[in-house]
């Protein structure tokens, strides 16, 4: 009986899939198709011309998100700039928002990306929520004003634009990019196994048909290469890297590829503790936190390990709600609470950058 089956506490969907017994079937959602249609239906009513009417409590298609980015730039030119860091495999622009008060050009910066894995729709929803909240609260929230005055936020609402578009039009549960493989009919690479750090070792697959396929070589995916190039150029100013994923309710930091303690563990652990405490204060949601390898699973070629190796001392990956009931099909009714609590956590991490934490800087890069 499904109700009698208990998965180990630290397993998420990916872990379960990797260890699954084909004879076991767990039924969490009785009508899966209906849940999918709820999130992709009624598109015409959601197309808005002004950001004042933009609905942040529904999931948006790639086209809507890109239009929203330009509209935010048009309506808030003093705080928002939009630019492209390159093009995807299928030729789509890779848009990034710069959020922050225009002041001196050498401001410290925080990078936030969402939608690395196509099916994790709550990610892009959060990136949009973050921008909206930051702008709306700038005038009355002294903490947010301090952040935007002293930091630049580079926000990429949809990292894997091709995969995200495909998850809206063809396969709701698609994860990878959409690059073609010449030897196999399978398409795509796991964009979080394609970074140039311990590439294609434990926790990544060398087979193109697998969900965790590392790609033919590091940075083979134009999306990964473009972001890596952008961050490398600015690594002296980018002090934090944050990647938003789902699901498992965790806050992870390096290392992903090995069981070892990072040299600036105390500072990073403290920031993580403050973040999950702030998150918990909203609705009482509990997040586990710790090194990715021990808290979730070992993986190589991950973006947080790459960011850390390149001198970005605070590198985090969030796994947002939930813990497996809805999984990737998190209902739109949960966008608001999920984004509200995550906002508190990200603000806590950004605030920790403005407060000095003593750490040994001699050894960078550490990996």
Catalytic residue positions, numbered: 319
Closest to 57 measured CA to CA, from 46, 71, 42: 46
Helices (H) and strands (E) counted in the chain, each on its own, are 11, 8
| Partner residues linked to 241 by β-bridges | 111, 315
Q: Which helix (H) or strand (E) holds 152?
A: strand 151-156
CA angle 94, 99, 101 (to 5 degrees): 145
Residue 120 CA to residue 31 CA, distance in Å, equals 19
How many angstroms separate the CA atoms of 236 and 107, rounded?
10
Neighbours of 179 (CB within 10 A): 22
Which CA distances in Å does 68 have to 54, 96, 193, 246, 307? 8, 12, 29, 23, 28
CA 315 from chain center: how many Å?
A: 12
Q: 213 pairs with which residues across the strands?
A: 205
Distance CA(188)–CA(163), nearest Å, equals 8
Contact 205, 213 (CB under 8 A): yes
Q: Across the strands, what pairs with 141?
A: none
Tokens 């134009």 belong to which residue? Answer: 222
CA distance 135 to 52: 12
Please compute, for residue 205, the number of CA atoms within 13 A of its CA located in the half-sphere on the CB side: 12
Q: Is 21 left (phi over 0), alpha (psi -120 to 50) or beta?
A: beta
φ and ψ at residue 276, rounded to 5 degrees:
-70, -30
| Cα torsion angle, 164, 166, 169, 173, sign | negative
């Amino acid at each position: 009986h499904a109700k009698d089956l208990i998965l180990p506490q630290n397993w998420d969907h990916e872990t379960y899939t990797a260890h699954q017994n084909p004879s076991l079937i767990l039924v969490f959602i009785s009508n899966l198709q209906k849940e999918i249609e709820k999130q992709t239906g009624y598109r015409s009513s959601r197309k808005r011309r002004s950001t004042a009417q933009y609905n942040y409590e529904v999931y948006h298609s790639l086209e809507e998100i890109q239009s929203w980015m330009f509209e935010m730039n048009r309506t808030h030119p003093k705080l928002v700039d939009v630019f492209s860091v390159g093009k995807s495999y299928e030729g789509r622009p890779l848009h990034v928002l710069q959020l922050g008060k225009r002041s001196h050009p050498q401001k410290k910066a925080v990078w936030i990306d969402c939608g690395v894995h196509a099916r994790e729709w709550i990610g892009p929803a959060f990136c949009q929520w973050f921008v909206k909240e930051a702008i709306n609260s700038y005038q009355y929230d002294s903490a947010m004003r301090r952040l935007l005055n002293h930091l630049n936020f580079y926000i990429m609402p949809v990292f894997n634009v091709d995969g995200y578009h495909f998850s809206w039009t063809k396969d709701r549960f698609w994860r990878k990019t959409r690059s073609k493989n010449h030897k196999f009919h399978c398409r795509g690479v796991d964009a979080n196994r394609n970074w140039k750090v311990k590439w294609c070792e434990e926790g990544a697959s060398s087979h193109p048909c697998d969900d965790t396929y590392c790609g033919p070589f590091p940075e083979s995916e134009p999306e990964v290469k473009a972001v890596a190039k952008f961050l490398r150029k600015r690594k002296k100013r980018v002090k934090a890297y944050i990647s938003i994923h789902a699901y498992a309710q965790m806050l992870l930091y390096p290392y992903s590829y090995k069981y070892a303690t990072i040299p600036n563990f105390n500072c990073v652990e403290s920031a993580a503790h403050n973040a999950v405490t702030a998150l918990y204060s909203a609705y009482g949601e509990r997040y586990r936190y710790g090194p990715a390898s021990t808290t979730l699973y070992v993986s190589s070629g991950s973006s947080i390990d790459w960011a850390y190796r390149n001198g970005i001392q605070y590198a985090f990956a969030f796994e947002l709600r939930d813990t497996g009931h809805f999984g990737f099909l998190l209902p739109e009714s949960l966008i608001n609470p999920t984004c509200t609590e995550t906002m508190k956590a990200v603000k806590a991490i950004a605030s920790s950058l403005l407060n000095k934490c003593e750490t040994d800087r001699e050894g960078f890069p550490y990996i």
